[in-house]
Structure 1
Amino acid sequence: MEPFTFASSSELRIPVAVKVNRLEGYEKPLPYSTLLKRPDLRHRGSNLSPNSELYITVQPFADSKPLTVHSQTPYKHFKNGRVWNQWLTLPANYSTLPANTQLAITVWDLSPINPKGGDRHHHIPFGGTTIPLFDEDATLRTGRQKCRIWRHKAADGYSDTTTPWQAPRKRGRRGQYEETVVVDKKQSRRDAELERLVGLMKKHEMGEITETKWLDQMVFRQIEKLERQSVKSSTRPKTTSHPTFGAQNGEANGEAKELLCAEGDADHVDGSFFLYLEFPRFDHPIVFTDHEYPPPPISSVHAPPSQNTAAVNFKPPPEVQLGPGIHSDGNSTSDTDGGSRLIHIYDPEVGYADNPAENKHRRLIRGQRNALDRDLKPNPKMRDFLNKVMSYGPTVELSEKERDEVWRFRHHLARDKRALTKLVKSVNWNEQPESRQAIALLPKWAEIDVDDALELLGPGVQTPAVRAYAVDRLRKADDEELLLYLLQLVQALKFEPEHAKEDDETDSSLASFLIVRSAANLKLGNFLHWYLMVELDDEAPSQSAKNKKLFARVSYDLMKELDATPEGQARRRVLLKQGELVTVLTKISKEIRNSRADRPRKIEQLKKMLADPKNEMLTMNSLPLPLDPEVKATGVIPDECNVFKSTLSPFYVTFKTDKGEKYPLIFKTGDDLRQDQLVIQIIALMDRLLLKENLDLKLTPYRILATSTLAGAVQFVPSAPMSAILGSAKYKGSILGYLRFHNPASPDTASILGVRKEAMDTYVKSVAGYCVITYLLGVGDRHLDNLLLAPDGHFFHIDFGYILGRDPKPMAPLMKLSREMVEGMGGSTGTADSQFDAFRQYCFTAYTTLRRSSSLILNLFALMQDAHIPGLSAFGSDSVRKVEERFKLDVTEDEAIGFFAQLIEREMGAWGPVLIDKLHGFTQGWRA
């Protein structure tokens, strides 16, 4: 079968259009006998002139009902023929039309005398035709169409239309349609030739025949002449004149004749008219495809389960007595009971709207203080049910039954720290008695973890008492732990209730908590200040005015808190000095980026600007750097700067520290570093989670700080990209050669594969750690230029512009594990010195460890959904689910390990990443 390329109608979101070309036809003039019977006929436009003014209306129908209002041709005066050449656009898109759509096209004649009397409706139908928009194969009609006009009848648009666009075929003896037999052989040959020419004309319009304008015009005029002759020759139709489907031929002819007699035109049946239309053409055939609507949600009212069901039944179903003629299966077994049966009626509100009876019952039950609930304990079956509910992740919505059972056993669940978030989801906070009971339970609840506290600070919780409880849990975290979540906590400020107290010093809101803790710690205050500056950036158009006002108020309160103490005043001066430093670096970066000079000249320009006394970069009074406030800079070294080969021209600058050391960093403008900042923060958090389990995978969470939405600083880590290592003869084009060069084996130290043991362990552990982390975060665009290796064996990734599975290249791997990376640890053949098995075990341990902390990671991503970060905004509310899918929380731990083992084997043997690396290397070489 040859390949067939087509497009679906559901994607064709353009209005329906039809071009009305011309009307061709001939009929004998009215005899005087008819005019004597009907004097009003002599005043009709079509009886006065063969080229009288007519107008046309087009209206879409489906299932015998109009879909929209009609469209009408403008007034036009005809001289030699009724030619419109007018495109009509209907107020409906192709994507919204059903497959049985028909266009009812009526040609209207003008008559100053209304045949039915009265002063209105001085237009009468000249004729009509009805053409389906899709053919028998559900393909959209395109190109030229020849439609038969049924005289004196308006197009009806019914499913069984009486005005079909083609004359119906005659029924044979066996009920099948047969073609009409044409007696005139000369007319038959002329029609065959005309059909051949029309087919060639369609090919010409599709571009399959070369265009020759002067010759084409002659052919087109000849074709029109043949069409007129063909119409004129068919003055008496060979088929039934006015069909009515579903009736016998005699009845149809009788009805048609009676209708014509009503028009006073019974003798005037000699003649035929055809309307020539044109539909738009497309590059591919348009095939009808219906929109698939999502199934309605399952009703909260369920039928009584059968005895064999596996559902949990806590009490027997009630007895139901059915009336006469009604059976539980909805059918009747005999006709003696009246033939009645149970009728199922679809209610669109079931599943979408709450059941008012259930809501009333729930309010009555939950509103009263039931003393029995305090001592209520679940049975073993109910305990298993509740444990299953407690294991749900933060993205799972609880069903009505789950919410009811969590509320019923709330006193028993108070000892389970995981259950508080489930209780918050189960409470109707709009009901005062119910919310008061839930708030009274908060002091008695077991201390929750930080991940649950972050979930309670999300957009789904608006109760101030619950958010204050979550903030009280955060007060117990030390400053280093709080720093891991500070980026998300700043975003959580958006979800604070509007009626929260802002001026009360004893306010327990999140904003006041962050201000007090940040004012007491230089590091916290430094990062809180810069996170707020990014949110207040004027170049962030996606930030709403309401949120900007909120962050401005928090920033003002922070400065006010710092001014309250002498030590705080000094810290505020530090923040001001940092702002001046970032302003100078931003100005220099923009000048370097906008300069049209080559790279060596840009480097000289950078050195001059850094050494310029006006910029005050040579000497600093022990200024804590915004990127790392624990490092105090005393000045820059202009000679140790560089400009990278990149479109944005980021530059490298080295700072002198008060300890006599050097601190290099990269500063760039024109790029949004907030996404890289988020990924590095998650990597630092995962490193802390792994270290808690005594698993040190030698990760390198270098520092990134976005100083605005389009500027920021990046810590520089001395290292080499994989592309340079594999292309270097000094390292013999291998990772193992690089490790041996920088960490040679010696008799005094242990070694593996000729590499010092500590360096090889660092390499194997860091590769395993980044394989797991980049898989979980869905980091894309992985090539040999953004995989770096430090001389001491630390392997790490950079450039996180694509996350959550997005990748600009096809055939992208789920995890970057190339053959060269495996060969660097001795290969996967299982030799004595190969570290591949140790690498696999590190991967499995890291994956299972991070799966146990999945709720914390998912809650951090949930708080960042509204941060307008490009990588998260692309998925909207599904961004958290993208990460959750990779944790495989629906399988056991052993099954998850088996899955990851298969992933390692698959990515090692994949040829797609190899091809991507070669193409990327070729592209970079061509650009250079």
Structure 2
Amino acid sequence: MEPFTFASSNTLDFPVSIRIINLEGSESPIPFSTLIDHPKLKHIGSNQSPHSELYVTVQVWAGSKPLTVPVQTAYKPFRNERKWNEWLTLPIKYSTLPENSRLAITIWDLSPTGGPGAQGHAIPFGGTTLPLFDGDNQLHKGRQKCHVYRHKAADGNDDSKTPAIIPKRKESSKNGGAVAEDKDGEELDRMEKLFKKHEMGEIPRVDWLDQLVFRGFEKRGHQSGTSLQAILQRKRAAESEAFKKASDSKETDSSQESGPSNFVLNVELPRFDFPVVFADHEYPTPPISSLQHLSSSQSNIVLKPPPEVHFGPGINGIDDGDEGYAGQLIQVYDPEVGAKDNPAESKHRRLVRSQHRNGILDKDLKPNAKVRDELNLIMSYSPTHTLSPEEKDLIWKFRYHLTRNKKALTKFVKSVNWQDQAESKQAVQVLGKWTDIDVDDALELLGPTFDNSAVRAFAVERLRKADNHELLLYLLQLVQALKYEHISPQPGHEVAQDSSLAQFLISRAIDSFTLGNYFWWYVMVECDDKSQDQGQDNQAIYHKIAYDFMTELVKLPDGKETRRTLLRQAEWISILSKISGEIKESNESIARRTERVKNFLADPKNELVTIDPPLPLPLDPSVEVIGVAPEDTIVFKSSLHPIKVAFKTTSGRKYPVLFKTGDDLRQDQLVIQIITLMDNLLQKENLDLKLSPYKILATSTTAGLSQFVPSMSFQGIASKFRNNPALAYLKQNNPDSQGGPLGLRKETLDTFVKSCAGYCVITYILGVGDRHLDNLLLAPDGHFFHADFGYILGRDPKPFAPAMKLSKEMVDCMGGSSSEHYRQFKQYCFLAYSALRKNSNLILNLFSLMVDANIPDIKLEPDKAVFKVKERFHLELSEEEAIRALERIMDDSLSALVPVVIDKLHEIVQHFRA
């Protein structure tokens, strides 16, 4: 097929318009004898002059109902012809037009005595109804010739009696004259269509050829002994012969004519560069929350009486099926019908809840064995599982019995109808009797689906029992949870009064400098986020939180000094941002860029050579820096040209930091935080996999710091060593020729095997993509780790990427896939996967709190982010089945050929870039 370019009507945000050009045609004057018998006829304007003043009204109809008020042409006197040449704009846009839209065009005559269909002193001269869309659902455009029906107003109905375009009928071949006249008419129709295409630019203009065609057409008309207008009138008279009466027997009351007249109204519709095809508005799918069954209190709502319905012409009501157009009731799809509750189910739930509303007998209710199994199954559901109405009723019935089960609290909160004041009041009382819950359940209660202040306050009370080290693991998500608190963005309200979570975080942040340091920078990044996804209200909320934090901080004895330290950190970041931005934008060589940075850092004016008093590093507040070492500065070759700066610390060591501008590090910061959390979870299971998550801190939406860990990429190692490069690299740094495994120190190989297992499992669960040998790093002491987390949750820019990055270089360093060390590696993978599956609820809840954090890969599909992580846990399988599934994934990744080809191509590309 040839390419067809078109636009859809629902995107055409322009008002409907039409140009009324002129009226063509004539009719024989009424005989004087008729005027004498009917004196009222002589007062009609068109009976007095063939060029009397007329005006035109246009109205949009659809479904046999008017959609707009009529729009009228201005008064205009005529001399030789009835020509308006006026554009009319109708109060409706093309984007809202239905498919059966049509223009009801009525020409009005003047008569002081009135007449049939009169509106004041105006009577219909004639009417015509023009569809806006043709049979192919394309919008009509350009000039249109509309048949006028004398003495009739345009009806605008779907089955209009005044159609502007009359369908052609096959003429009988018995009458030779009729056939000859049809041939002339067909030729005229063909020429008219060609003239219209030529006028609209669809036929190329050739001046000399166009003039020949026009003269030939006029000559043919003269040879036939009549003008073009007379030929058109004769053709139309032949088409409407079945509808018209003979001219010699013309009736006095012309309003009885039912067919088209000799009059034609020329109009023009707007022209567009492309065809416009009808497209209706598609309603979005109702949200899942609206499809859930209403709870007992919501089913108590008294429905209002149905609104009174006024049926348009052509649509019959309930009681008038025998009148008019019977059987034309129109059925309209209601997109909200899916949100309606079943009245029978609502009544049932209301009755069930009413039995257990007061709770007098419920306190002693105990489930039998069967019900206990059902409750245990419900308690095992993941946080993303939606409870059925029956399950909610069961939990409510045995709520007092479940208060001893810490895992049942979140399910109980989901079962309560918080819109019902009596039920919510009793639920709050039950909350006070509940046993202590785990942190993962408390984090779930702070998510976006729980907005009851009492529930959120209960979760905060659980967090108060966590120490600073544990709280730091969840601090990034808790700062995001402030978006779901009932905090007013209006000035004059203290956030501590509006939000128990805000009050808790501020109180803990001012008591611990480490917590306060990270809390301050997390809030500052949210204040810096000016994207549309964040919104002005959220910005105002975080500005208020930052202000209240500083206000509470200065009330402490050493609070002013702490505040001054945080401001010094901000100044220090701005100085580094300045030089980093200049280096990134310059077009100099790497050597020249490095020299510029060294000179900048060594300049005493920038106050980086000596930092007095020592400044806690924002990236790691436990480290205090006293100055910079300019000689250790490196500018990297990548597109953003990050800068490595080494700082002298109070301990006498150097702390290398990588500073980058032009990139949003919040996604990398999230991944590193989750890896740090998983490392803590594994160590609680007595499984130390030697993970070394380096620190990352986003200081704004376009800049950040990261810890620089001395290491070498697998790509760099492979270019330096030929055979078994990773093993050769470790042998060079940790040789052991006296019986060590593979010629290595046992601790080094053990560290490598464990860290490979930990990172393989964690990056698989997080769906880290774009894995190649350049972002697989190896430290001299055997610590293996990943870098660059620009793709997570299963996204990968390369096709056929494996679910887990397990390269041949990693396995060869362990001694091959049949070695004892590789079998030990697989055992570590299975142990780590099982341990993390036990804590899947905590990890899923942390991701649910980051749904609105403006993280790139989460923002793409925020409603699916948590489910993508859940899929990697395979919670529907048993532990043994899940481990077998993981083993298949590992085997497939090791034997896959595509990753090897991709790594080779990546090496070639990087070689040319260098």
Shorter-chain TM range is 0.7 to 0.9
Alignment of 1:653-802 (within 5 A): 653-721=645-713, 728=719, 730-732=720-722, 736-743=724-731, 747-748=737-738, 750-751=740-741, 766=755, 769-770=758-759, 772-779=761-768, 786-791=775-780, 794-802=783-791
1:398 lines up with 2:387 in the alignment: yes
Q: Which amino acid aligns with 2:725?
A: G
Deviation of the 1:94 alpha carbon: 5.1
Alignment match, 1:106: 105
More displaced stretch, 132-141 vs 855-864? 132-141
Deviation of the 1:815 alpha carbon: 3.6
Q: What secondary structure does 1:531 align onto? A: helix
Alignment match, 2:233: 235
Q: Which amino acid aligns with 1:30?
A: P
Map Cα deviations across residues 242-295 of structure 1 (whole Å, 9 max, x no partner): 79xxxxx8xx779x9999864458699762526454465565773656636647
Pick from 546, 549, 552: which aligns with 1:552? 546
More displaced stretch, 640-649 vs 702-711? 640-649
Q: Which amino acid aligns with 1:581?
A: W
Alignment match, 2:840: 854
Deviation of the 1:667 alpha carbon: 1.7
Change (3 A) 1:907 1:98: farther
Map Cα deviations across residues 510-533 of structure 1 (whole Å, 9 max, x no partner): 344434444443322322232233
Deviation of the 1:714 alpha carbon: 1.3
1:368 lines up with 2:391 in the alignment: no
Q: Which amino acid aligns with 1:233?
A: I
Map Cα deviations across residues 308-362 of structure 1 (whole Å, 9 max, x no partner): xxxxxxxxxxxxxxxxxxxxxxxxxxxxxxxxxxxx9999778546968678657
Alignment match, 1:651: 643
Distance 1:786 1:73 in 2: 72
Asked if the contact 2:617/2:623 (under 8 Å) is kept, the reply is yes
Distance 1:898 1:181 in 2: 88
1:422 lines up with 2:408 in the alignment: no
Change (3 A) 1:258 1:591: farther
Alignment match, 2:439: 450
Deviation of the 1:789 alpha carbon: 4.7
Alignment match, 1:377: 366
Asked if the contact 2:56/2:72 (under 8 Å) is kept, the reply is yes
Deviation of the 1:665 alpha carbon: 0.9
Pick from 598, 602, 609: which aligns with 1:607? 598
Change (3 A) 1:610 1:225: farther
Deviation of the 1:390 alpha carbon: 1.9
Alignment match, 1:160: 159
Asked if the contact 2:154/2:162 (under 8 Å) is kept, the reply is yes
Q: Which amino acid aligns with 2:841?
A: S
Alignment match, 2:608: 617
Alignment match, 2:308: none
Change (3 A) 1:636 1:847: same
1:639 lines up with 2:637 in the alignment: no
Q: What secondary structure does 1:492 align onto? A: helix
Q: Which amino acid aligns with 2:728?
A: R
Alignment match, 2:461: 472
Distance 1:24 1:837 in 2: 93
Q: What secondary structure does 1:748 align onto? A: coil
Distance 2:195 2:227 in 1: 18
Map Cα deviations across residues 788-825 of structure 1 (whole Å, 9 max, x no partner): 45455555444444544566x5857474648xx24542
Distance 1:755 1:226 in 2: 104
Distance 1:374 1:346 in 2: 47
TM-score for the superposition, normalised by structure 1: 0.77
Distance 1:576 1:761 in 2: 44
Q: What secondary structure does 2:25 align onto? A: strand
Same amino acid, percent of matched pairs? 47
Map Cα deviations across residues 60-119 of structure 1 (whole Å, 9 max, x no partner): 4333223344555666777876677776665555554444x1313314234253633999
Asked if the contact 1:706/1:712 (under 8 Å) is kept, the reply is yes
Change (3 A) 1:472 1:113: same
Map Cα deviations across residues 629-675 of structure 1 (whole Å, 9 max, x no partner): 22222211112113334554432211122333221112233433333
Q: What secondary structure does 2:811 align onto? A: coil
Distance 2:441 2:82 in 1: 77
Q: What secondary structure does 1:639 align onto? A: strand
Distance 1:65 1:506 in 2: 56
Distance 2:194 2:891 in 1: 58
Alignment of 1:200-215 (within 5 A): 210-212=204-206
Change (3 A) 1:69 1:915: farther
Change (3 A) 1:125 1:469: same
Change (3 A) 1:444 1:110: same
Distance 2:72 2:814 in 1: 75
Asked if the contact 2:103/2:130 (under 8 Å) is kept, the reply is yes
Deviation of the 1:452 alpha carbon: 0.5
Asked if the contact 1:24/1:82 (under 8 Å) is kept, the reply is yes
TM-score for the superposition, normalised by structure 2: 0.78
Map Cα deviations across residues 458-479 of structure 1 (whole Å, 9 max, x no partner): 3444555543432332233232
Q: What secondary structure does 2:600 align onto? A: helix
Change (3 A) 1:702 1:229: farther
Pick from 811, 836, 845: which aligns with 1:825? 811
Distance 2:712 2:777 in 1: 5
Count residues in correspondence.
860
More displaced stretch, 57-66 vs 482-491? 57-66
> In angstroms, what is the RMSD of aligned CA positions?
5.1
Distance 2:650 2:186 in 1: 98
Change (3 A) 1:293 1:22: same
Q: What secondary structure does 1:701 align onto? A: coil
Map Cα deviations across residues 206-252 of structure 1 (whole Å, 9 max, x no partner): 97754546766886898899999665324356689779xxxxx8xx7
Deviation of the 1:480 alpha carbon: 1.9
Change (3 A) 1:796 1:72: farther
Asked if the contact 1:44/1:109 (under 8 Å) is kept, the reply is no
Map Cα deviations across residues 364-423 of structure 1 (whole Å, 9 max, x no partner): 5454241x2122122333233323322333334434333222111012212221111111
Distance 2:182 2:42 in 1: 36
Alignment match, 2:309: none
Distance 2:89 2:350 in 1: 52
More displaced stretch, 527-536 vs 229-238? 229-238
Map Cα deviations across residues 698-748 of structure 1 (whole Å, 9 max, x no partner): 54422111223333211122344566566x3x344x8x4354244357643
Q: Which amino acid aligns with 2:818?
A: A
Q: Which amino acid aligns with 2:675?
A: I
Alignment of 1:894-913 (within 5 A): none
Change (3 A) 1:683 1:142: farther
Distance 2:480 2:628 in 1: 34
Distance 2:905 2:87 in 1: 49
Map Cα deviations across residues 415-445 of structure 1 (whole Å, 9 max, x no partner): 2211111112223445555445433434543
Q: Which amino acid aligns with 1:643?
A: V
More displaced stretch, 737-746 vs 908-917? 908-917
Change (3 A) 1:298 1:428: closer
Q: What secondary structure does 2:461 align onto? A: helix
Unaligned runs of 5+ in 2: 297-330
Asked if the contact 2:647/2:654 (under 8 Å) is kept, the reply is yes
Asked if the contact 1:194/1:223 (under 8 Å) is kept, the reply is no
Unaligned runs of 5+ in 1: 173-177, 244-248, 303-343
Q: What secondary structure does 1:608 align onto? A: helix
1:575 lines up with 2:575 in the alignment: no
